[in-house]
Structures are given as structure tokens and as C-alpha cells.
Structure 1
């Protein structure tokens, strides 16, 4: 395990410990509205501060992009991308589906390290470029299911912007008819991690940010899957839409995204 991955694991686990101290004990006054339907808690901020401290101590030349504090430029050309609590609304409601997501983009812009940590279940997803993906140190792979009647697909439902709601509902109907079921858990990082380990057969969501998907993208790719934007572009930073899946499910879901979101691409 590289120093980079060791540092990310330490940071994720310490942030996870912070979340567990407060999980189930938040009051209504502990949640604050950042913008329309977008909440933050002091736990989010405390987690991000601790993650930043650990990463900065180990790699003081690196930059950091966090959901809460924004961008801190570095001198190395490398950037750590952090979601200190992905699934804040779940956390506020004591719904035990949330995660800490940490990724490193190297000086070439490639994803090099990924960690997604689910503290309630103590599940640690890790990956390094070219080294495979792991869950609690055991190697993971995307699913091998191909029968449409057995496919479980994850998604994210629009909750702030509605100009593409009709396109989303149209695609949702199409995917529902061609699969065994659809799940909306509320943490894109976990949706991607679960796709990497075969719990989900594919995942799609329109309008995500780098901290939502960066670690999960590397996990899926290192687990043998494919991830692109809705346009099919492998540069997921060019357009903040994600289609992730297996060699079988990714092209099927990508075709549906291209059909239903044609006007938005």
C-alpha cells in the first residue's frame, strides 16, 4: 500500500469516527441550509477539517478540493478530492447510508488513489491505479450478471434542479422495465462502490460534482467496470453526469442515457 493510500485510509477512518460520535444524536438546529435543498452540518465541516489536516501533513505540496471548503491550491500538480460526508441528508435523518469519499488526481489528471468508507458497516473500499479494487482488503470485481430480469440498478433522483426531470423520469421508466429493480440510496460514492463490488449491476446519475464521484469512478474501473459521462466520454470531469457498470450493463445504460438526455448533452 502506497503512502498516498495509507494517508487516505487514515483520513477516511478518522472522519468516520467523527460521524459515528454524532450519528443519531443531531437536533434540527444542527443542520443548516447551504442553498436550496442542500444541507450541511458541523459534522461535515469537522470531517473535512480533519481530512485536510491529515493529507496536508503528509503531502504539504498537494492541493485539495473539498465539498465544504472549496479549493486549496497546491504546488505539486496533484489534487485530493474530498467529500467528507456523502449522504448528509441521510445522516441528518439517522438513515445509516452515508460515506466518506477521498480521491487523488495526479499531475497528469488521472485518478490514482480512491477510498470510500462506510463507517456504520465498517466497510472500506480502496483502489490504486493499476492495482485493482478492494473491500476490507479483499479484491472485488463488478458483477457478471447479464439477465435483465436479475439486474439491480442504482440511480440518483434530481432534488434541486428540475429542468431535466422529464428526461430523468423517462429514463427511469425505461430502466425499470428492463431490470429487476432500481435503488436510490442517497450517496453516489456508495452507489459506485457497490457497483464496483457487484452489489449493483450499474449506476447512473445526472448532475454530480467531482467530490461525489471521483473515488467511486476509480473503484469501478479497477474492479473491471466502465465509467463515462452520458455522452460516452471517459473524461468524467468534462460533463458532470455518470454512467457506470459492467462490460455488459454499461453500454446498455449508456444507450438509454443518450436517448433520453439527448437535449441535455
Structure 2
């Protein structure tokens, strides 16, 4: 989940172990001031589905120590709700915000400036137990009835059906990176930096074989443990536990869903927590790196670079719910239900983008296909298409995009961002700074002959462009998203594009990207294409011919010959 999406928060569900009056008072005051709903549940009390319903964008908060935070993971992760931890406990690696910083941390979160990290979870299955955890699953011998009886167990371990061997000793832990600072660390395992780290580790507990060491595997690995005797199994320090009989397999693998953990600039750092709470030998609380070791800070972004970054972040944030809803469209048969999903996707995308822009550039105007025009007293206007290729989206086709452009005045695009949620391709450009796809510079082709070129066609009501160019070229394709069409020409995936009529939100971002890549965009007569923000009913038809550049004159000549 991208942090910009948190700016849409209109509902908070707080889980607390022992109500901390100061923290809860701060939280209640802040939510009241910002008009955000608040529900407080104590650990052990059911977190109800009604707490999340009504189409609200929800943030989970834990008030307590790491135990309360883990209870929050159990409640919020299955619902894909991000969790922020207020630390009112003592030894905490997960809940890291001091109660005195609640107002500041939540304000930063509501502005979309917090970061959301994914945390690996695991699922464990055996007879009588099917559970999900985030720290570790431990398998240990049952305490003997008599002190003189055997106190160890033998566990046979398989990784993706490959036999690893037998572990003789006090058992083993299978832990995530989050769980690496607990039982696994006590048993001599390594510490994993947990943010966006998707692995599992098999850690022997007091093994009787000197050569046995922790083993790290991927999140998708199927780990199977078969005990030679009855053993105890515990998940996340006893949140789930059971007894496993001899020869009963225990299967562990990465969970189908991850936990979303919110971090703000007010959180204690992970390395700082290690130093302060474990007395970590590599550094003390006030240790500083040698002078000149840390890289120099990046110079402050200029205005257009900042605007492009904000637009990219907004597009990624909007792409998350859009992609989720696209998956629902693919499963729905009824036309009316699909229409509702498409409308919801358009609305959510538009709302996330507009909120991100308004947070960062409150004086700028916004022109959106979904919500119309919002005024501003700045010469800059954002032009937004929350979903370009709505027809494709409605039919479960992946060729749709989110397009965001910044205009200087009425018709000069200076920033363009086009994001394809299904492929996670990010095209972007800044005036006089080139065009990029996922950070790599792009450029159009250099073909100048029609018979060597492949063309794209957008809206072509009578099929005239297709008829005129199909036999003259290597083909004419129509993918259904004008913004993506322009990006594909800019990146050399096609040589030219024809659109019978255009709207500014369809093409503003793509034209910025195409021109910065070195391509060309005109009308049917060869006049440089000029955007217009005039009302659709007041604008004349606005055809668009876009190309790699060298092919443009041949296209114009053939258009003239065909009287298009």
C-alpha cells in the first residue's frame, strides 16, 4: 500500500490493551478536529465488521506495547487495513510512536506523507490448527511427566519436498523477518531488517548437532516438519497453540496476505530500537557514524521535479484500489454490478489523486474527467483522468491507465505521468528533462516509411483511418487507452497514433511524455497539437496525429490523399 492513500482516511479503529488515558484523549481530540470517525476496542473485545463498513478508508491504531500491536495485526491484516502503533509499553520493536507525538504523527499520515511497509506473514497448518502469524511458530518437546525422562525431540524437516534432515534438540522456530528479534535471536539466529523483506527462516533451538545453522528460504517455500514424538506448537507467543502427535506433519509457508505497517518520521528507528532495547553491541544509543560516511543529502527538489514525484505517488496510490476493483469486475456477470464497480473505481481514483494534489499544491486548479473543474488562483492546472480506458476496465481488460498532467497556463503540459496498474509500468516526463519508463529513459523509433511501421488507432468512428492505413503499413492496432497509446509511441512500441477526437484529460500527460521522448503531436493538418480546457460543448473536434517524428510527414501526406 502506498502512503498517499492514507490521505483518504476517514475512519480509525483503535485497539488497546490497558486504556492509556492520555493517548486515547489525544486520539479522540485529533479525530474530532479532523472529522474522522473513531472506534475504540479493547484487546479481547471483538473487532466487528461494522467497524469497517460503509466504504470508509480505515486506519488501524494500536495503543500499548508489541503485544497489542500483534493483536492489531491479527485484527487488521486480513482486512488489508494498515496499522500504526502508539507505544505505551516498555520493550517495543513494532509500536514505535511516543504518545506525545500522536497529533503530529497522525497529521503527517493524513497528509499522505507516512510510509506503509509490507510485513511478511506465515500460515501454519496441522491437525486441528490452521492459523496465520507474523512473528514465529515454535515446535518444542512436550514436558516429560518425570524429570528423568527425555527432554528433547527429533524433528524431520522438508523444504519443498526436499529432505533437509533431522533436528535433535529443544525444537525449532520458523520465523519471519519481524520475528527475527525474538526467540530466533535468543537461539543465535540473525536479525533480519523487516521492512519489505519477504522470507522465512528455520532456526534450530538448542540443537544437539554443532553443524546445524539457521536456514533462510523464500516466502513461497513449503516447509514441512514431521515430529518423531508428541510436540507442542505455538504461534506468535501462544496466540494459537496445539499439541501435535507423532508423525503428524506441520506445514508452514508464506501467508496469502501481508501486514501493512505505517511508519512516520516520529517513529523510533529499527536500528535505534535494537540499540536502546537490546543494548546491541554494534552501537550505543548515542553512537554516530564516522564523519563523511553518510552520503550527502540530495539537493532539494525543484518545483517540477516535486510535482512529478507527487503525481507518480498519487497514481500508484490510486492504482491500488483500482486494481483491486478490476479483479472484482472480472468475477461479476451482471451489467449493473459491473457499472457500480467501475463507478466506484473512478471515484476512488479521482478522490485519492485530488487529495494528494490539494495537500501539496492547495492553490493549483484541477480539471478531472470524473469530478469536473476545481478552481485555484495559480497559473498551474492539473488535468486528471482517473481511469483512461474505462471500457477496457469494465470488461476485465488490463489495458487501462491513470493519467495525470500539470499544465502551465491553459495548454502547455510541463509534467506528465501515465501509470498502468496491471503491469505497474510508470511513464513520466518533466519539461526539458526527458521521458522515462520505470526510471529508464525512453525514445521513439526512427522509422520513416509507412510500409515498415506499426500504427495505433484510438477513436475512429467510421473506421476510415483503419481502411486508409491498414494495407499501407504493418498493421493498425487499437488498445483502448489514448494515454497508453501515446506512451507506447514514445517508448518505441509503435510508430504512430491517430485519434479522431480527443479530450484534454485523455492526452495531456501522454503528449508531455511523447514530446519529451522526441516524438511529435499535431492535428490532421500538421499544426502542433494544442490542448484546450474549454467546455466540451464549446470545443471543436480535436483530432490528434502523434508519431515518432521521422514518420510524421508521410502520415500527413497520406491523410491528405485520403481526405481524412
TM bucket, shorter chain: 0.7 to 0.9
- Tell me which of 232, 246, 250 is aligned to 2:548: 246
Segment drifting more, 138-147 vs 177-186: 138-147
Is the contact made by 2:342 and 2:393 (CA closer than 8 Å) also made in structure 1?
no
- Tell me which of 386, 392, 409 is aligned to 1:84: 386
Give, in angstroms, the shift of residue 81 of structure 1. 0.4
1:97 is aligned to: 399
Cα deviation, 1:74-114, whole Å, max 9, x if unaligned, reads 11021100001001111111111000000000137421000
Confirm or deny that 1:10 pairs with 2:317: no
For 2:543 and 2:342, how far apart are their aligned partners in 1?
A: 23
Cα deviation, 1:27-53, whole Å, max 9, x if unaligned, reads 3224449xxxxx952101110011000
1:36 is aligned to: none
For 1:156 and 1:204, how far apart are their aligned partners in 2?
A: 6
1:199 is aligned to: 493
- Tell me which of 4, 12, 23 is aligned to 2:326: 23
For 1:62 and 1:260, how far apart are their aligned partners in 2?
A: 43
Is the contact made by 2:448 and 2:554 (CA closer than 8 Å) also made in structure 1?
no
Is the contact made by 2:468 and 2:562 (CA closer than 8 Å) also made in structure 1?
no
- Tell me which of 466, 469, 474 is aligned to 1:175: 469
Measured at CA, do residues 108 and 21 of structure 1 come closer, stay the same or move farther in structure 2, by a change above 3 Å?
closer
Give, in angstroms, the shift of residue 259 of structure 1. 4.3
- Tell me which of 377, 396, 419 is aligned to 1:117: 419
The DSSP-based 3-state class of the residue aligned with 1:41 is: helix
Is the contact made by 2:425 and 2:437 (CA closer than 8 Å) also made in structure 1?
yes
The DSSP-based 3-state class of the residue aligned with 2:403 is: strand
- Tell me which of 411, 420, 431 is aligned to 1:129: 431
Is the contact made by 1:236 and 1:242 (CA closer than 8 Å) also made in structure 2?
no
For 1:69 and 1:40, how far apart are their aligned partners in 2?
A: 15
For 2:381 and 2:527, how far apart are their aligned partners in 1?
A: 21
1:213 is aligned to: 507
Is the contact made by 1:226 and 1:250 (CA closer than 8 Å) also made in structure 2?
yes
Is the contact made by 2:434 and 2:517 (CA closer than 8 Å) also made in structure 1?
yes
Segment drifting more, 74-83 vs 102-111: 102-111
1:135-154 correspondence runs (5 A): 135-154=437-456
1:188 is aligned to: 482
Is the contact made by 2:323 and 2:421 (CA closer than 8 Å) also made in structure 1?
yes
Give, in angstroms, the shift of residue 23 of structure 1. 1.4
Measured at CA, do residues 258 and 72 of structure 1 come closer, stay the same or move farther in structure 2, by a change above 3 Å?
farther
For 2:524 and 2:491, how far apart are their aligned partners in 1?
A: 22
Q: TM-score, normalised by structure 2?
A: 0.42
Q: Which runs of 5+ in 2 are unaligned?
A: 1-300, 533-540
Segment drifting more, 104-113 vs 115-124: 104-113
Give, in angstroms, the shift of residue 229 of structure 1. 1.4
- The size of the alignment, in residue pairs, is 249
Measured at CA, do residues 243 and 90 of structure 1 come closer, stay the same or move farther in structure 2, by a change above 3 Å?
same
Cα deviation, 1:175-227, whole Å, max 9, x if unaligned, reads 11211011000000000000000001000111110000001111111111100
For 2:449 and 2:526, how far apart are their aligned partners in 1?
A: 23
Considering only CA atoms, is the larger Rg found in Structure 1 or Structure 2?
2
2:349 is aligned to: 47
Q: Which runs of 5+ in 1 are unaligned?
A: 34-38
Segment drifting more, 49-58 vs 100-109: 100-109
- Tell me which of 507, 510, 517 is aligned to 1:223: 517
For 2:516 and 2:544, how far apart are their aligned partners in 1?
A: 16
Q: Which has the higher helix share?
A: 1
Measured at CA, do residues 178 and 24 of structure 1 come closer, stay the same or move farther in structure 2, by a change above 3 Å?
same
Give, in angstroms, the shift of residue 231 of structure 1. 2.5
1:106 is aligned to: 408
Is the contact made by 1:201 and 1:246 (CA closer than 8 Å) also made in structure 2?
yes
Measured at CA, do residues 30 and 261 of structure 1 come closer, stay the same or move farther in structure 2, by a change above 3 Å?
farther
Confirm or deny that 1:237 pairs with 2:531: yes
Measured at CA, do residues 211 and 30 of structure 1 come closer, stay the same or move farther in structure 2, by a change above 3 Å?
farther
Measured at CA, do residues 108 and 186 of structure 1 come closer, stay the same or move farther in structure 2, by a change above 3 Å?
closer
Q: TM-score, normalised by structure 1?
A: 0.88
For 1:192 and 1:14, how far apart are their aligned partners in 2?
A: 22
Report the aligned-residue RMSD. Answer: 1.9
Is the contact made by 2:318 and 2:349 (CA closer than 8 Å) also made in structure 1?
yes
For 1:155 and 1:78, how far apart are their aligned partners in 2?
A: 31
